Chain A
Amino acid sequence: MLSVTNIALIPLIPLASFLLLGLFGRKYLRENSGWIGTVALLASTVLAFMTAYNYFFVSGQVNGVYQKLIPLKITWLQFSPGLSIDMGILLDPISVMMLVVVTFVSLMVHIYSLGYMKGEERFATYYSFLSLFTFSMLGLVLSCNIFQIYIFWELVGVSSFLLIGFYYDKPSAVAAAKKAFVVTRFADLGFLIGILIISFYAQTLDFGTLIERLTTPTPQLHSIIATSFLGASALTWGLLLIFAGGAGKSAMFPLHIWLPDAMEGPTPVSALIHAATMVVAGVYLVARLFPIFAMSCPGALEVVGYVGAFSALLAATIACTQTDIKRVLAYSTMSQIGYMMFALGVSGYGGENGLGFMASMFHLFTHAMFKALLFLCAGAVIHYVHSNEMGDMGGLRKKMPVTHLTFLVACLAISGIPIFAGFFSKEEILTAAYEHNKLIYGVALFTSGLTAFYMFRLYFSIFWKKEFNTEHSDEHHSEGTWSMLTPLILLGIASLVVGFIPFGNFVTSDGEKISTAVNVVFSVTPVLFAVAGILLAMSFYQTENNMAEKVSVAFGEFYRAAYRKFYIDEIYLFVTKKIIFNLIGFPSAWFDKNVVDGSVNLSASLTEDTSELSRNWQSGRLQSYMLWFLLGLMILAAVFVFF
């Protein structure tokens, strides 16, 4: 069952679907493209689940330790006997887990889009882009070679660009797509330099060999630690640059500016890409290289931790002030990814030390479920209300019962209320943080309270606050078709259930089992914070009152800064326009226009002037020709006589 073909088919079926729908969808397949894409992805999901079952329960373990298996490796570009870019498949606990997550969420999004994107003219194109994205993401998680992951990284970026800018006649969508691509591309520059540094010293691009060479005392490890640049070793630089690439993709501060704008894309796209799968690519990358981070370069790991914690806090603060529901969810995503990042940051390697790693991956898994659910519910609400703003909503609990229930489940999950999925994963993260870094623990605790607050602010504002004004939506009085509701229900069940999976048995930093028991005493504090946040939100937002305004006025400047996302976008624009354009852009343009173009023009005008001067030689006058003839003759004669 665990045959290479079956595993290879998992990413290849979406690729085939992409090609088919891309080439023939628009003209020939049209309405059927949705079905074709969904069925293809169903096949992939089934294969992924089979692979996961096989790996985790049947044949992945050797002596109780999960192995890194490489069923397929094809040498693609060989630079030297030891250095080559291979294309292959790597199976280990995190990649198999990601297979399950990516295919399942993608399947849910495909089904949901059958109803949500119905009537869209470019229906087939949409599904082909979704298939392209799924292929790229699956390729990314199955990569066995750091360059292969870079290739798929870029492919994922392209798919994201295509999907964010799907409504290309909206200028804001086009600008958002461009911003996302440029920011992540800029981060990928760091990623590429990091790859080059690491692979140069380790003399390999293959993950297994790379980790082995840089975590055990080998000559490569010594050389990379010995070389230092501006006070930090080459290893630190390499890992930090790779982390910069991951931070760009995962929207960590300060490269997070693209994520809120990316909400211009269709909502199912936001659910798939910017909640569950693509944005966790950065976390996945750090997890993939985790042994190197943990064992050889703890300094870099600390940076990861602090960046993650700060991003989590920043995003939670901003989310409390936003009024566009998708923006709130975007900042919430950033905050939760911050949790995953700092969980990795406070983790050690091996056995019980690797608790943070396990917690991070667990949270990735549960977060994918409830965040995708949140976005899909938001899509249903937007579909019903035809607006993104919280002000236009209210009292929808009677009109959209299924959505209401599932949204509530998701909110409880993300707030970390016991029984629901988020509780278990968050508790593990907080335990790991408490053991290693009390500061980060404090930040995490406070942020979880904020999380509960803004999520329930969102919940109450949409479903309770005031009676719904039915002026605007006169056509759709139904909640949505079965295709939109089924994924909600399935993901809702998942958000309830997945918390109970004993994750420590499956996914850990070195493959060995760790025990994960719920420490009731320890969990009281976070749950209390969460409940406090929920009650506060209830009092502000369940009914219409002006308590929220009073508090925002009391916060004054801080509120305004948070509402304006702390002016980070403005700072970027300032740097780009005033500094980069003026100092680098205009001089370069001047140089290009005057020196480069000028020299070409100069050669042309020189030729022209020379020809102007010399064309008078051809005067058409016979006698001057004769004179020159005579002169030439004399010279020839002189040459013949004297030489």
Chain B
Amino acid sequence: MEIGLTQILFVSCALFFIGVYGFLTRRNLITMLMAIELMLNAVNINFIAFNKYVWAGRLDGVFFTIFVIAIAAAEAAVAIAIIINIYRNYNSIDVEDADVMKF
């Protein structure tokens, strides 16, 4: 079978939902961050795939990907700063322990 856009989209889709499952299941804040990274990567694959197979003459997908990578980096940094702060206050990075914002 010819490898076309659909197969790449399958990979991207599966990767995304693995990331979702990971986010919903993991209890450690850092591992949740890793799941987020997986989701972002899946989105990047999606953009690049569409750019290559559907809009080959333009660079929009490429630039989107570059910016997403930059933003992901910034976001990971901020998230880590927050995690460190939580660790200092609660002495634990279990997401179940950070439930102050409840009823």
Say if the beta carbon of A610 comes within 8 Å of chain B: no
Contact of A620 among B23, B24, B25, B99 (CB under 8 A): B99
- 0/1 per residue, A604-637, Cβ < 8 Å to B? 0000000000011011111100110010000000
Q: A615-B103, A616-B103 are in contact. Are A621 and B96 (CB under 8 A)?
A: yes
- 0/1 per residue, A288-326, Cβ < 8 Å to B? 000000000000000000000000000000000000000
- 0/1 per residue, B4-23, Cβ < 8 Å to A? 00000000000000001001
User: Closest approach, in angstroms, between the C-beta of A372 and any C-beta of chain B?
Assistant: 78
Q: Which residue of chain B lies nearest to A612 when distances are taken between CB atoms in the complex?
A: B103
A627 / chain B contacts, CB cutoff of 8 Å: 24
Are A618 and B23 closer than 8 Å at their CB atoms? no
Are A626 and B102 closer than 8 Å at their CB atoms? no
**Those of A32-48 within 8 Å (CB) of chain B:** none
Q: Which residue of chain A lies nearest to B100 when distances are taken between CB atoms in the complex?
A: A620
Q: How many residues in B have their beta carbons less than 8 Å from beta carbons of A?
A: 13
Q: Which residue of chain A lies nearest to B96 when distances are taken between CB atoms in the complex?
A: A621
Say if the beta carbon of B54 comes within 8 Å of chain A: no
Task: Count contacts between A and B, CB distance < 8 Å.
Answer: 30
Q: Which residue of chain A lies nearest to B102 when distances are taken between CB atoms in the complex?
A: A620
Are B24 and A626 closer than 8 Å at their CB atoms? yes
A622 / chain B contacts, CB cutoff of 8 Å: 32, 95, 98
Are B24 and A618 closer than 8 Å at their CB atoms? no
Contact of A623 among B23, B100, B102, B103 (CB under 8 A): B23
Are B102 and A618 closer than 8 Å at their CB atoms? yes
Are B103 and A626 closer than 8 Å at their CB atoms? no
User: Closest approach, in angstroms, between the C-beta of A204 and any C-beta of chain B?
Assistant: 69
Q: Which residue of chain B lies nearest to A618 when distances are taken between CB atoms in the complex?
A: B103
A619 / chain B contacts, CB cutoff of 8 Å: 99, 102-103
User: Closest approach, in angstroms, between the C-beta of B72 and any C-beta of chain A?
Assistant: 18
Dominant SS among interface residues on chain A = helix
Are A630 and B20 closer than 8 Å at their CB atoms? yes
Are A621 and B99 closer than 8 Å at their CB atoms? yes
B3 / chain A contacts, CB cutoff of 8 Å: none
Say if the beta carbon of B101 comes within 8 Å of chain A: yes
- 0/1 per residue, B80-103, Cβ < 8 Å to A? 000000000000000110111111
Interchain CA distance A620-B97 in the complex, whole Å: 9
User: Closest approach, in angstroms, between the C-beta of A324 and any C-beta of chain B?
Assistant: 73
User: Closest approach, in angstroms, between the C-beta of A77 and any C-beta of chain B?
Assistant: 58
Are A623 and B95 closer than 8 Å at their CB atoms? yes
Among B96, B99, B101, B103, the most chain A Cβ lie within 10 Å of the Cβ of B103
Interchain CA distance A626-B99 in the complex, whole Å: 14
Interchain CA distance A36-B98 in the complex, whole Å: 83
Are A623 and B99 closer than 8 Å at their CB atoms? no
Interchain CA distance A615-B102 in the complex, whole Å: 9
Interchain CA distance A630-B102 in the complex, whole Å: 20
User: Closest approach, in angstroms, between the C-beta of B18 and any C-beta of chain A?
Assistant: 14
B23 / chain A contacts, CB cutoff of 8 Å: 623, 626
B96 / chain A contacts, CB cutoff of 8 Å: 621
B95 / chain A contacts, CB cutoff of 8 Å: 621-623
B102 / chain A contacts, CB cutoff of 8 Å: 618-621
Interchain CA distance A619-B96 in the complex, whole Å: 10
User: Closest approach, in angstroms, between the C-beta of A610 and any C-beta of chain B?
Assistant: 13
Interchain CA distance A627-B22 in the complex, whole Å: 12
Interchain CA distance A630-B16 in the complex, whole Å: 12
Interchain CA distance A62-B20 in the complex, whole Å: 109
Interchain CA distance A252-B25 in the complex, whole Å: 91
User: Closest approach, in angstroms, between the C-beta of B32 and any C-beta of chain A?
Assistant: 8
User: Closest approach, in angstroms, between the C-beta of A300 and any C-beta of chain B?
Assistant: 73
User: Closest approach, in angstroms, between the C-beta of B40 and any C-beta of chain A?
Assistant: 15
Are A623 and B101 closer than 8 Å at their CB atoms? no
Interchain CA distance A626-B39 in the complex, whole Å: 14
Interchain CA distance A596-B23 in the complex, whole Å: 52
B98 / chain A contacts, CB cutoff of 8 Å: 620, 622
Q: Which residue of chain B lies nearest to A615 when distances are taken between CB atoms in the complex?
A: B103
Q: Which residue of chain B lies nearest to A617 when distances are taken between CB atoms in the complex?
A: B103
Interchain CA distance A618-B101 in the complex, whole Å: 8
Are B101 and A620 closer than 8 Å at their CB atoms? yes
A618 / chain B contacts, CB cutoff of 8 Å: 101-103
User: Closest approach, in angstroms, between the C-beta of A624 and any C-beta of chain B?
Assistant: 9
Interchain CA distance A18-B95 in the complex, whole Å: 80
Interchain CA distance A117-B103 in the complex, whole Å: 71
Interchain CA distance A615-B24 in the complex, whole Å: 21
A621 / chain B contacts, CB cutoff of 8 Å: 95-96, 99, 102
Interchain CA distance A621-B32 in the complex, whole Å: 13
Knowing that A620-B103, A622-B32 touch, tell me 5 more A-B residue pairs with CB under 8 angstroms: A618-B101, A619-B102, A621-B99, A627-B24, A630-B20
A residues sitting closer than 8 Å to B (CB atoms) are 615-616, 618-623, 626-627, 630
28 interchain pairs (CB within 8 A)?
Answer: A615-B103, A618-B101, A618-B102, A618-B103, A619-B99, A619-B102, A619-B103, A620-B98, A620-B100, A620-B101, A620-B102, A620-B103, A621-B95, A621-B96, A621-B99, A621-B102, A622-B32, A622-B95, A622-B98, A623-B23, A623-B24, A623-B25, A623-B95, A626-B23, A626-B24, A627-B24, A630-B20, A630-B24
State the 5 A-B residue pairs at the shortest beta-carbon distance, nearest first: A620-B102, A620-B99, A615-B103, A620-B101, A618-B103
